Structure 1
Amino acid sequence: MGESEASSSSVHPHQRHFTWRKSIPFIPFLYMGFSLFFSFLSCAVFLPSFAFSAAIFTHSVSPNFTASNFRFIDNAGTFLLSQNGTFKASISGTNIQPSSYYFSVTHVASNSIIWSANRNAAMSDSDELSLTVNGLSVANQAGKLLWSTPPLNYKVAAMQLLETGNLVLVDARNVTMWESFEYPTDTIVVGQRIPAGKSLQSAVSEADMSVGDYRLEVTDGDVVLQWKGMTYWKLSMDANAYKDSNGDVSFMAMNATGLYLLGSDGSTVVIQVVLSNNPSGVRIGKLGSDGRLTITSFTDSNWVQELKEPVDDCRIPFICGEIGVCTMGGACTCPPRFHNEMSGGCAPMDSSLSLPQACNESTNGSQFNSSVSYLGLGYDVDYFANDFTEPVRRGVNLLSCQDLCSQNCSCLGIFHGNSSGGSCYLLENNIGSIFFTPNSTNDSLGRLGYIKALVNSSGEDPIGENKNKKQSFPIVGLVLIPASGFFLLATIVVLAILWWRKSRLSKARAVKMGRLHSSSSAELEIFYIPGLPRRFNYEELAIATENWKTQIGSGGFGTVYKGTLSDKSVVAVKKISSSGVQGKKEFCTEIAIIGSIHHVNLVRLKGFCAQGGKRLLVLEYMNRGSLDRTLFGNGTPVLEWRERVEIALGTARGLAYLHGECEHKIIHCDVKPENILLHDDLQVKISDFGISKLLSPEQSILFTTLRGTRGYLAPEWLTSTAISDKIDVYSYGMVLLEIVRGRRNNSNGEIYFPLFALEMHEQRKYLDLADPRLEERVRSEEIEKLVRIALCCVHEEPALRPAMAGVVGMLEGGLALGEPRLESLNYLRSYGGRFTEMSTMEGSNGQNEFVLFPESLAYISSQQVSGPR
């Protein structure tokens, strides 16, 4: 009986589907010579597969079945098809590596492998797959087992390939005992479930199907992508992902409409990613050897990609090799003081330094016998795992973080986050690629990375030389050189020492410059201050502002310029006047406080420069400018009442945060329309909070009596009353009145508006106070609300003014409106008369000056006195 017949005899009659191929019948040729007969007989004995071609079976085969690529060579190793021929089981090679064979299930139309048994042990073309009553196994010609199914409870009656692509072993009752869907490789198909706790594992490459370094893990709350155990992406991060419930995930499944994480009942959706509707259901999700999850549909012989994550090349953990820096567009470079290695990745330029290996039996403890150095990775870089792990320690400085790494032989580097209160992240066991993060707005802002390096005991760097090596030269000289040459030798030794010292100093300078990038950074790294934002050097900001080309604001202590950083982001750069500036440490201490304050209604400090005597701030740019331009400017669209209320509320919320909600209480001291900035959709942000603290005591003493801007100064600046956050409340009240009127409170030719507001409040004539440009588009009760709040804020007695949190409550409607106290507002009547007199004097002499009378309350200084804008 031929080989194909023997194989088919074990198949049930209704399951047989014979397909004969090129059979070579045995026909004796008596008239042929003995030699030819012997040759043919040898072939028939030793190469039986040449004599018979095996058949392809449909749906099912029974035990005592064997297959190899060689046996089914005419069918490209295929021996089993699903009922409709959608999937096939075969022993075949990959397109790229045809000499390595795998027992696989493949989608026929697209030739995509969806499952492989022996992915970690490739077969040869003659190695065999065997189906017995005990299960499936793959062994080589020497009998060595390459793969097998686990022990089964019952005897196998058949192996079936279902139309879903699931390969199953069933018993005599047709009950499934084992299925390939429960042992996924790197692919999921429609109808397959991946339970929580199980994963897909990538291949090493397109040519090597062995398990690679990337894993897609289904957890009880999400799906995560990991590289060597470190997370770098979650399904919930996908732009099309929707979280439907907070229940636990039981399994991941895919159907014709999308990818789903479902609860234990099989119907409760926890997270879903809706894809284009594909009624045919031919959809394949695969974790590629590049670390990406892709989902594609196969329609009309074409692939349609529906999902690809992560989208950003730089979020792939090993895209640029070890310590390689991935920049925008996927370009790879090395950090400062590192160079490219031929084998890939980056290594220290200094040959006296080497990268440590993670702990093992041979290396454990050896690191502690070596000197350890840390090479900085520079600014604006981060590590993929930092956003998905908790720091090993919080509230520690950089040196303490480095000590934690030095004492841990598994630690290969660190990231230290200033903006998160001194968080220490350890890079353990493996280091992947670094990615560029210009102007990051998350916790990575201020997170600096360092790679641990071991200082070799012998190397080219003279810094690493030891005393024994330096002493060996003169001792050898005394033994080998006659006494007459001793003085010549001594001269050579002295010259060598001088050269060595010069080389050491030069190299130390180069190392320092390479690590710190700028003189300003070098000056700042001698002390530790948690919370510092990004540091810029002066030249970088000069380039960003095109040599201070576009001025967008100015104030008592500084000028603001528009700038564009190297990553094309637009910023506002404030030059603080250099006279009397603080020392670097004091300046940076205040910068750290300001930089740590984040609120939707406060302008964010993105960085700073403290280089020599120069002090600059890099701030968030607000494209609609300051409130005064929008509120008072000629030719600008009129602010509607609703917009004015939103501006008032946003400003109040920002001040309330400064006064009572941030860690360090801050009094602004200069609340005015010029320091209230607007962005798209009239988003409101207060600028210049905390700026006055950046001044030295010598400079600040000039403003002990007055600090603020004329027209917004609280009366207590001119008295012995203690200064508190109520000065900001007073200034806010003055701004609120200007928002109502749409003009300056002290506009020439008009009555002093705060006094007019008080009089109209007494007469309940609120409509007379509204900006006439609104043309009756506001109701009296709406105006009354803002006017009453404003008058309460400008009480002469600070204790009578509400807190800013109370102002927010009144604006939002959660608190009852306060009632202005007339006895604490009478100073406005006195000041109103003086204002009229001063306005007349100003009109007659043409000078924009007011005289300060120290004995009077809330009079205006002869010059604008303000903090820098």
Structure 2
Amino acid sequence: MPLLIVFTSLFFYLSAPPSFAAATDTILPGQALAVGDKLVSENGRYALGFFETSSTKSSQSTSGWYLGIWFNTVPKFASAWVANREKPVKNTASLQLTISSDGNLVIQDRSTQSIFWSTQANVKRNGTIAMLLSNGNLILRNSSNSSHILWQSFDHPTDTLLPGAKLGFDRLTGLNRRLVSWKNRINPARSAYCDALDPSGADQFLLTRLDSSMSYWSSGVWNGESFASAPGYKSPNRASYNLTFVDNEREKYVVESLADENAVFRHVLDASGQAKGYIWYEGLKDWILAYNQPKAQCDVYAVCGPFTICNDDALPNCICMDGFTITSPLDWELEDRTAGCSRKTPLHCITNKNTTYSTDQFASLPCVRLPKNASKVRIATRAEECAQICLNNCSCTAYSFRDEGCYILHHELINIAQLQCGGTTKNSDGETLHFRLSAQDVQSSNTNNRRRTVGVVVGTSLSALALFGLGFLLMIWRNKRKRSPRKIYSSNGGRIVAFEYSDLQRATKYFTDKLGGGSFGSVFKGFLSDSHAIAVKMLDGAYQGEKQFRAEVSSVGAIQHINLVKLVGFCCHGPKRLLVYEHMPNRSLDIHLFKDNSTILNWTTRYQIALGVARGLAYMHESCRDYIIHCDIKPENILLDALFVPKIADFGMAKILGRDFSRAVTTARGTIGYLAPEWIYGVAITTKVDVYSYGMVLLEIISGRRNSDASCSSGGDLGVFFPVHAARKLLEGDIESLVDYKLQGDVNLAEVELVCKVACWCIQDDEFDRPTMGEVVQILEGQVETRMPPMPRLLQAVAGSSCSTCS
């Protein structure tokens, strides 16, 4: 019996290849990598091993094991390559990565010898080893000849391109190296989008749908130094990369390289269809978005799937059209919305020879960007005729009638985007889409619309009452002496928490971690019980603090937008007034623009900040139930989150207008240097005072200096106020001289000129000459062109007199 035990033990020892007791970068013949083991590159940066993906938020349990490469030095897991992306493994008891008898690297079940994945290299003889290189490339090579590489992961990328890897094709072998997006955030299977060189032969790379040849973004043609739309990048933490394009007899490809070899960078084709560059920012312990292409999510073709509306100014970006419901709630929950929405009720349309009978009707969707596949019907000259033509065709699902005539769409409606056309914005591109629904769903939609209309009317009438009720709530809370559990209140759909003072004392460690302060009071950093970071603003002054407190709660507390800071809650404790906001780890814009020891914002980030602030203001001015004038737009009131997404903050001076009013008479408020002339004249103000302040901020984004600091500077323009100097240089065509010297010329001059034009239009003397913020958004997004602005004469006159004494 003892002999049998020894024999059995020896058998299992011989049948199970040895695993790794210590980290190594190589698999030799006879060795195996099991679950829990990993290869580590010589520099320690990359690791290869088995990892599991699973959904903890999903209503269904989905998980699987994959072999992949990830960033070993980064605590936040990020995959760089996946071997078996189409074939997850469920049972890991006998799972291993080893070199098979034919010399290939394989994932196999040790007990059954079943192979899940193989390198499938043409190995002519045994004697191969696998090695994870310091650049993240997994290679299979001849054990006796290190230069004889039989297979490499860089030739088979998944969704990520690492520095040094090629994106392109090999003319001799026919190998096409391209990126294909993950299906969703936990499933690495190939999905809808592809990042590859232009198959037509043009020297550019494209983002396309896998199931279509239609591209939705192009890098622009290589000009010998860069691609027009992807010229290279300098990141917020000073790590930069460059693109190199190679075209020779054997290969044609593009490759990224890092100026700082210690920087950790990855280019990813996201499941959303956007190509994104990420740099690991050690100070924040997080990946920072360096760029994303296309810039707007809704520019990705069919990102929301059929019968949906995409909105760049809302989160989530995708919603179903009226009369439709989400096709796959699980995929939707995992951020894959390409399946779109499905009809609640089938259409009723019968065709009998030359006769079509239908009881279907149409619902209207105003202010949208229509799909490009609409067919023009020349015989229809009126909207009614256009509608009837659509009803007479059972495949017609929508129509639009405009000045150019009748357009109809067939089958699935894809790529419909919501535009900003509310308020005073005039968007020539915004159309009304009439989409086909069953009569039952149209009646249901009309009922919902009537309810919404009544809600708007009643909501407008009761807005004052709501504010009074909120004030009454605060008064009750202030007078409560007995400790009670934290409560949650709703304000126009927003959830606001009423905190106990003792809760905030504990969260902020008794207000010891001060982030900043000013005339309004002080701001402290804290953490809630769920480790969520917060910023607590403690207002100073009984009367002024109360006014600011009520202004902020009644304005930002009632609205939600990706570019507006989120109010988490408030606290009334005796005379103390505290406001609790989401914490912004990158603090305020002025720190990055004006402080010498701060992070240098590259031009791409600055442009996205300018666009984000414009979107936030446009939402306040044109899309809220009650219009909101901020009254104090300046860099200090523009906060930046971990990804440098801008958030407008500090609504203590905000003025709320009902939709029936366009002007307000109020006391002067704001910050010198950003004040519109209306404040000086003492006339009624409009949203255009925010437009003026925004224009001043744009000029500081360009120059990286205070407009006031730039006045009376040395050089050829001695004594010229910078906004006037900028307007002159714009007219002269000398934009480059205005750009922040810290950027070292690494800017997109076309974008700089566009931002400067917008800024100079925003600071015009007459408010009627200034654009609305909705129009600013359209200009910066490239939807609308703008002409050269005139010199702001009043500003020039005031600046001239003030600088006449400069020495």
TM-score (structure 1 length as normaliser): 0.39
Task: Compare the two structures and name the one with the higher strand fraction.
Answer: 2
Which structure is higher in RCO with an 8 Å CA cutoff and minimum separation 6? 2
Q: Which has the larger radius of gyration?
A: 1
Task: Compare the two structures and name the one with the higher helix fraction.
Answer: 1
